Structures are given as structure tokens and as C-alpha cells.
A and B are shown apart, each in its own frame.
Chain A
Amino acid sequence: MEFKNLKLSKKTTFIIWVGIIAFVIAAPTILPVFRLNLLGRYLSLAIVALGVDLIWGFTGLLSLGQGIFFALGGYCAAMYLQITSSSEFPNNIPEFFGLYGVDNLPFFWEPFRSPIFTLFAIWVIPALVAGMLGFLVFRNRIKGVYFSILTQAALLVFFNFFNGQQKLINGTNGLKTDVTELFGQMVGSEQMQRMFFWTTAVLVIAAWFFSKWLVKGRFGNILIGIRDDEPRVRFTGYNPVLFKTIIFSIAGALAGISGALYTVQSGIVSPQFMTVPFSIEMVIWVAVGGRGTLLGAILGAVFINYAKSLVSEALPASWMFIQGGLFILVVTALPEGVLGWIQGEGPRNLLQRFGLKRKIETYPSLEINNEAEDLKK
């Protein structure tokens, strides 16, 4: 598979960037609060989509368990917020503990009193969990569908764990963040939400550049090598386990950041973030946008979620049909996604079909001789 880059002149690139920055700065004044909040949430989902693209689009690992890391990041942020705004509750611990008769803070909550620890925990803890899980799986050369199933099972396990532990992390109710305070202001307030929106926008752009840098050099080449022919990479002397573990942890870290941003903007983190459909949806954002194209992941996440909210507002029952159809359509008809289709041969083929563009002449024997195609299968 080859993904060509759209060739844009420096001037156009500059104009596009000015446009994006102007929009991000002006968005809070243009958009109503509700829509701004939605946009902020979808942008934070774009970060997790970037992670999915890194592991699936570039390395060929289809993880159906990114929700684990997403939720872990969210829980880290929510625990900090809950614990720092719990001074008026009995025992100086978050309110929900009182409901279950817990008087002492569970030990793993303690470090979250520190803001610096939390800032690191949001991405380090998911990365560590991802690294550990990834290492145990990759070490045994478990790959392909097996890997997907194991990540899905892991997701379910984490869901069960978080869902069942009322006394530790409020179980199925989750942790609320919108009534907590940060820098002396309510997290749910309009002002804070505006701050979060800008933070998210900046972080999306940062994550995008980071991912671009990651896949551009030698490291990226090895990732693509692993995707296309892993044994060959191994025989060349590289250790795929190491690279896969690293990229899986990076994707985990991105998911954690994304989850934290999503949590503070939606006002709650709950085990619902770890349900199976949500994690598979992440994959479909990337698939629709175009896997292997980082921009596609961002656009896919934002637009599909936007479409989802619009359709669900109008016709609640039909979204499942549309989504199901989207899954089938994108893998059968548009395997490279929308952006991949635009950057590839798609538009030219379409024009050819309507007779607007002349067919490219190929070397005649290539069309007659199908042996090469058959051998590929």
C-alpha cells in the first residue's frame, strides 16, 4: 500500500494554518457553548484516533482495547479533581466514599493529591499498562486477529473491574468532574470549558506533529515494515517486539491524554468509556478518515462524531444502521478511507468512469498477464 502526500505549495499551507489558528482562537465566540463543548470533546477524541492510526494504520496492529487507556487517563484526571475539591466533605475524602461507609482513602488515591504527579500519571500510567500488556502479547508472536481478540478481552476485564469496585472508585457511577474545582473555578463553568477547548486544540496539533515526526524517519519505516512483512523485518535483524511494544505504549499514552481531556469536558468518567462498542468506534473513525494518513484520523474522529450527534438528535434509531453500514462500506468499498482515496487514485478513477479524463496507458502485457496479481493472493 502506498500513500502519496498531497502536494501543497508553501503559501497554501501557510494560509490553511492561519485559517485553523484563527478558527481555534475565535471558536468560543462564534459557537454556542453547547456546540463548543461538543467540538472540544470530538477534538480530544482525535488524539486517541491518532494513536489508533499509529498502531493500526502504520504498524498493522488492530487494537480493540484502546478504551482501557482512554478511561485510565480519564480516571487519573478525575481522581485528582475529586480529591483536591473534597475539603468540605467528611474525612476530607471525596463524597461518594461516604455512601459506601469508607473512612480512609484507598492507598492508590494518595499520590493524586499532587498536580505534578497527576500531569504525568495521565499519560504514563496508560503507557505502562499498554507496554506491559503489549510486551506479554507480542513476546509470543501473538498477532493479527488473536491480538485483536485479546485486547478486546482485556477491555472487558478492565470494564468488569472498574464496574464492580464501588468502594475503590465508585464503580458503575463513575467519577464526576463538573462540580469539582480547578484553580479556584468550577470545572464545568463556561470559562474553564473555553480553556479546555484551547488546550485540546493545541494538544491535537502537538500530537499530530509528534506522530508525523514519529512515522517519518527510520522508526516509521520499521513500523511500516512490520505491517507489511513482519518476518522479513525480524530476519533483517530488528526486533519487532521492541518496536511494537514502544508504539503500543505511545498509542496508550495518547489515549490517556485524550481520555483526560474528554473527561474534563464531558464532566464525568465512568466504566462506560470501556465498553466494547466505543473502542471499536475509535477504529472506524480512522478507517473512514483513512488509515496511514494521520490527518485522516483527526478528520474522521471529528466528523463522524459530529455526524453521530446530528443523526442521533434527529433519528435516534437510525444511527446504528448507518454506523453498521459505514463499517461494511468502508472495508469493502473504501479500504483506504476517504483521505487515502483522495490522495490515491480515487478521483482520477472516478473521472475516468465518467469519461472526463483519459485512461493512463499501461504497459500492455501488464493488463493481459494476471499472473502477478494471482501470486499476491
Chain B
Amino acid sequence: MLLDSLFNGIAIGSVLLVAALGLAIVFGLMGVINLAHGELMMLGAYTTYVTQLIFKLPLLKPYYNAYVIVSIFLAFIVSGVVGILLEKTVIRKLYGSPLETLLATWGVSLILQQFVRSVPLAYGTGLIISLLVGLFLPTIFSSKIKESINFKYIRFSSWVIAALSGVLTGNLISSSVSKLSRASARNVDVTAPAWMRGQVEILGTAFPKTRLMIIIITLISVIAITLFLNQSAWGMRIRAVTQNREMSDCLGISTEKVDVLTFGIGSGLAGVAGVAVSLLGSVGPNVGGNYIVGCFMVVVLGGVGNLLGTIFASFGIGIMTDLIGAGRLLSIWPDMPLPLSNTINFFATTSMARVMIFALIVIFLQFKPTGLFPQKGRMVES
């Protein structure tokens, strides 16, 4: 019973965690709240859907079972690229004014939502591919070539190639997969491959495999991001900029590159979260909105600049949601006094559990206003 509750809580928490991880990293580094984060998740979820359909083509049919694994990487890349584009075009102009960024990213989220409604997914894929080529083709040339020829021409020609490849892929996909060739605002469903359906029995309790898969995805993402931040050179630079932007700038760290990189990684993690979300329910233009406020609560509760806070906060919220929302407190302690049990019954739905958790978070913030693990500093404004 307790194990069951714990597992459910961890399952809810791990979705929150993988979604909030990217948000927390971006917020910690730039102080920017990305309201389009939910829509980047949505893009990840749609990527899973598109990958699934493409893997049903005769050529890739033998590998169909592996599509989930492939889609994790693809979703990371797709959302990451859109995130990088977002940073380069909009967010870069707004550093230092977080409230304006918030509004601008909301605008982006509206556009992305309407985009998946009114543009066929095949051409959306084509667009993403052309973005990918356009952004990364110039970087693969060695610096020697860049110096010998005018770099402008290289950049221009790579965008031409990018546009061509985008149109080609778009047409190819739309002609081979009929489901992707028309725009639709309806929700779509991702079906898990056979090896992920069903349940696993551990210690006499049955756990659905998809949930386990989500927990594994989360675990891998957390480990990977921790290793990246703590072991790699770029990770060190990111941490340095998070702690003190001016000082890092003075010491020769290119804060501009760090910003792009961080935003790309944060958005990519949103894509991975999208894969997890697509395994849980149907995928639609509004799917991101259901998770985004939960993610914000995790960031507020966990504090900035510390992954540990994010982890604790998301599992805390996940377990509390399950305890309150499913009315498990009653079954754990069956003979509690009547007024208390009435109150608990009143809050024993998913939506009312949210009400309760918000109240608890506001109460918690009265004691620790900067979250679980605040950054220490002596600034007036912290």
C-alpha cells in the first residue's frame, strides 16, 4: 500500500522533474522564465508521434520497437534547435528584463500552439530540419576554410541547402505518411511498443511499464545533466556564469555562447519531457499547458541554481499530489476523527489536490522564501 503510493508519487514526480529540470537550469542561469517551455514539451511529444509514424514505414519497420529510444534523442534535438532559435531571435534582446521575457515567451508559446494546429506536421518536420541544417552546417567547416573564403557566402549557401533539404523532407514525409500531410487540431495518440506495455511485478505490487520507463528516462537525464555540469569544461563555464556573470565575462568566458548552450540544453530537456508526456496520454496543442504550472511550482519550491532542490521539490510535490489527490491518507490512517477525514475527502480529487498543494507551498514560502536550497549571497537583491 505504502509502496504503491510511493511509486505513484515518484512517477508523477519524475515527469515533473524532467520537465522542470530544463526550466530550472535556464532560470538559474539567466533569471528568465520561459513560458514557452510547455510548448517545447509539446514539440517533443509531437516528435515522438512523427517518429512513430515514420518507423511504421516498410523500410524502418524491423526497428519499430526501438522508436521510443530514437525519439528521445530526436526530441532533444528538435526542441533544442527551436530553443536556440528562440534565444537568438527574441530572448537575447531582453536580458536584464525578466518580466518582458516572460511576456515575449508567452507570445512564442501562442504561435507554436497555433503552428501545430494549422501547419501539417510533415512540413513542420521539414522546417525543423532546415533550421537544423542552417544552424549547424556553417559550424562544421574548419577554421581554415572560413578564413580563406568570405564567411558570408558560406552562411548564405548553407541556408540555401537548408531550405532545399527542408522542402524535400517535408514533401517526402507528406507523400509517404498520409496522416502527417494534413493539418489538424485534434489530439493524436502515441502507442507504446509491445515491450513497454503491460506491467512488472516487484515485491508483489504491479507497476505499469510505461511509468517505469519514464522514471528511467528521468534518471538518465538527471545523471547526464549532472555529469555534464560537473565534469565537462562547458559545464564548468555554465556554473561559473550562473554564480557570477560579470566575473566570468571578465575571465574570458564567452557568456553569449554559454547562454545559447544553456538555453539549447534546457529546451532539449523539455523535448525529452515531451516524450515522457506522450507516453502518458494523448498529444495535443495544449498538452504543455497542463504541466507548465507544476514545473514553475517545482522551480519556486526548489530554489535557484541547485539541481538537488529541483529533485527534492518535484518528488515532494509528486508524492504529496498522490497522497492528497487519491485520498490515500484515509487508507493509511482509517480511523481519524470525522472533521479531519471530511476535509481530506473534500480535497481527494486531482484538481483539489492542486489547491491544497498550492496552499502548502505558500505556507512553506513564509518560512523559506527562497526555496529549499537557496543560493547564499550578501546582495540586497538576491
Closest approach, in angstroms, between the C-beta of B325 and any C-beta of chain A?
Answer: 11
Complex interface: chain B residues within 8 A of A287 (CB): 103
Residue B289 interfacial (CB < 8 Å): yes
The CB with the most chain A CB atoms within 10 A, among B102, B118, B297, is that of: B102
B100–A324 CB distance below 8 A: no
B107–A326 CB distance below 8 A: yes
Q: Which of B27, B103, B354 contacts A284 (CB 8 A)?
A: B103
B110–A327 CB distance below 8 A: yes
Residue A129 interfacial (CB < 8 Å): no
Residue A98 interfacial (CB < 8 Å): no
State in angstroms the CA–CA spacing of A277 and B288 once bound together.
13
A164–B113 CB distance below 8 A: no
Complex interface: chain A residues within 8 A of B351 (CB): 160-161, 163-164
Complex interface: chain B residues within 8 A of A152 (CB): 293, 296
Q: Which of A62, A136, A137, A325 contacts B102 (CB 8 A)?
A: A62
Query: Do most interface residues of chain A lie in helix, strand or loop, or is the interface mixed?
Result: helix
A280–B106 CB distance below 8 A: yes
Given contacts A144-B98, A145-B102, A148-B99, contact A157 B107 (CB under 8 A): no
Residue B104 interfacial (CB < 8 Å): yes
Complex interface: chain B residues within 8 A of A335 (CB): 100
Residue B362 interfacial (CB < 8 Å): yes
Residue B78 interfacial (CB < 8 Å): no
B380–A332 CB distance below 8 A: no
- Which of the four size classes fits the interface of chain A? 35 or more
Complex interface: chain A residues within 8 A of B200 (CB): none
Query: Do most interface residues of chain B lie in helix, strand or loop, or is the interface mixed?
Result: helix
Residue B206 interfacial (CB < 8 Å): no
Binds A, one of B88-96, B165-173, B209-217, B308-316: B88-96
A320–B113 CB distance below 8 A: yes
Residues facing A in B340-375 (CB within 8 A) are 349, 351-352, 354-355, 358-359, 361-362, 365-366, 369
| Residue ID in chain A nearest B304 by CB atoms | A146
Closest approach, in angstroms, between the C-beta of A57 and any C-beta of chain B?
Answer: 11
A148–B102 CB distance below 8 A: yes
Residue B147 interfacial (CB < 8 Å): no
State in angstroms the CA–CA spacing of A169 and B349 once bound together.
17
Task: List the count of A-B residue pairs having beta carbons below 8 Å apart.
Answer: 117
- Encoded as 1 (CB less than 8 Å from any B CB) or 0, chain A from 40 to 67 comes to 0000000000000000100010100000
- Encoded as 1 (CB less than 8 Å from any B CB) or 0, chain A from 120 to 163 comes to 00000000000000001101111011101110111011001101
User: Count of B residues near A, CB < 8 Å?
Assistant: 44
Closest approach, in angstroms, between the C-beta of B28 and any C-beta of chain A?
Answer: 12
State in angstroms the CA–CA spacing of A245 and B107 once bound together.
29
Residue B124 interfacial (CB < 8 Å): no
- Encoded as 1 (CB less than 8 Å from any B CB) or 0, chain A from 288 to 329 comes to 000000000000000000000000000001001101111110
Residue B117 interfacial (CB < 8 Å): yes
B369–A327 CB distance below 8 A: no
Residue A377 interfacial (CB < 8 Å): yes
B99–A324 CB distance below 8 A: no
State in angstroms the CA–CA spacing of A377 and B358 once bound together.
35
State in angstroms the CA–CA spacing of A154 and B358 once bound together.
7
Complex interface: chain A residues within 8 A of B110 (CB): 277, 320-321, 323-324, 327
| Residue ID in chain A nearest B99 by CB atoms | A62
Complex interface: chain A residues within 8 A of B361 (CB): 153
Residue B219 interfacial (CB < 8 Å): no
B300–A325 CB distance below 8 A: no
Residue A33 interfacial (CB < 8 Å): no
State in angstroms the CA–CA spacing of A287 and B27 once bound together.
23
Q: Which of B31, B111, B113, B359 contacts A325 (CB 8 A)?
A: B111
Complex interface: chain B residues within 8 A of A153 (CB): 293, 296-297, 300, 358, 361
Residue A231 interfacial (CB < 8 Å): yes
Complex interface: chain B residues within 8 A of A142 (CB): 365, 369
Residue A283 interfacial (CB < 8 Å): yes
Residue A31 interfacial (CB < 8 Å): no
Residue A350 interfacial (CB < 8 Å): no
Residue B127 interfacial (CB < 8 Å): no
| Residue ID in chain A nearest B117 by CB atoms | A317
Closest approach, in angstroms, between the C-beta of B300 and any C-beta of chain A?
Answer: 6
Question: With contacts A145-B33, A146-B300, A332-B94 known, what are 20 further pairs, Cβ within 8 A?
Answer: A140-B369, A144-B98, A145-B31, A148-B102, A149-B296, A149-B299, A154-B358, A157-B354, A231-B380, A231-B381, A280-B103, A317-B117, A321-B114, A326-B107, A327-B110, A328-B108, A330-B103, A331-B101, A331-B103, A332-B104
Sample of 27 A–B contacts (CB below 8 Å): A56-B99, A136-B362, A139-B366, A141-B369, A144-B99, A145-B31, A145-B98, A148-B99, A149-B297, A149-B299, A156-B354, A157-B355, A160-B355, A161-B352, A231-B380, A277-B110, A284-B103, A317-B117, A320-B111, A320-B113, A324-B108, A324-B110, A324-B114, A330-B103, A331-B94, A331-B100, A332-B94
